[in-house]
Amino acid sequence: MAPMQKRAWWGLILGLVIAAALVAVFVIKGDVTRFDDDPGFRYIVYALWIGGLLVHIALMGLLRKPNQVDERDRAIMERASKTQVNALIIMLVVWSIALTEAYWSARAVPVVYLTIIFISSQVVNAVAQSLGIIIGYWRMERGG
């Protein structure tokens, strides 16, 4: 397994764990609007978000040695950016439709959702990058 591929697998696992942990925190707390009033809730979310982001950056960028990346890896990373773009667009569209439908009768959406959308966009971006790289290697190994 190529070093980049290995890191992408670790990135994917990390991203999914962070996403699951964030969802679990929001489910356990029960009400998203408590995010504004409960500092403990906020600090847990911030710790997961920033911690996850730093580990992802270290995994995909800083720990990469220049001689570990060849032309093939670069091509796969470029293609992975397409997966990232599509995932981000789909995520934003899903969020906007879901919020509009869920809060249509109230005519107002809790402002905390803007922060949640921002955090989720970064988690989705990290997961999609890893997934795009894994798919790229998988396609290449199948002769694509």
User: Residue 69 interacts with another protein (CB under 8 A)?
Assistant: no
User: Residue 108 interacts with another protein (CB under 8 A)?
Assistant: yes
Judged by CB under 8 A, the residue of 76, 113, 131, 136 near another protein is: 113
> Nearest CA to 35 among 104, 101, 100, 117?
117
CA–CA dist 141, 104 (Å, integer): 48
User: Residue 68 interacts with another protein (CB under 8 A)?
Assistant: no
HSE, side-chain direction, 13 A CA sphere, residue 76: 24
Q: Coil, strand, or helix at residue 32?
A: coil
User: Residue 10 interacts with another protein (CB under 8 A)?
Assistant: no
For binding to another protein (CB under 8 A), which residues are involved?
A: 33, 36, 78, 81-82, 84-85, 88-89, 92-93, 95-97, 99-100, 103-104, 106-115, 117-118, 121
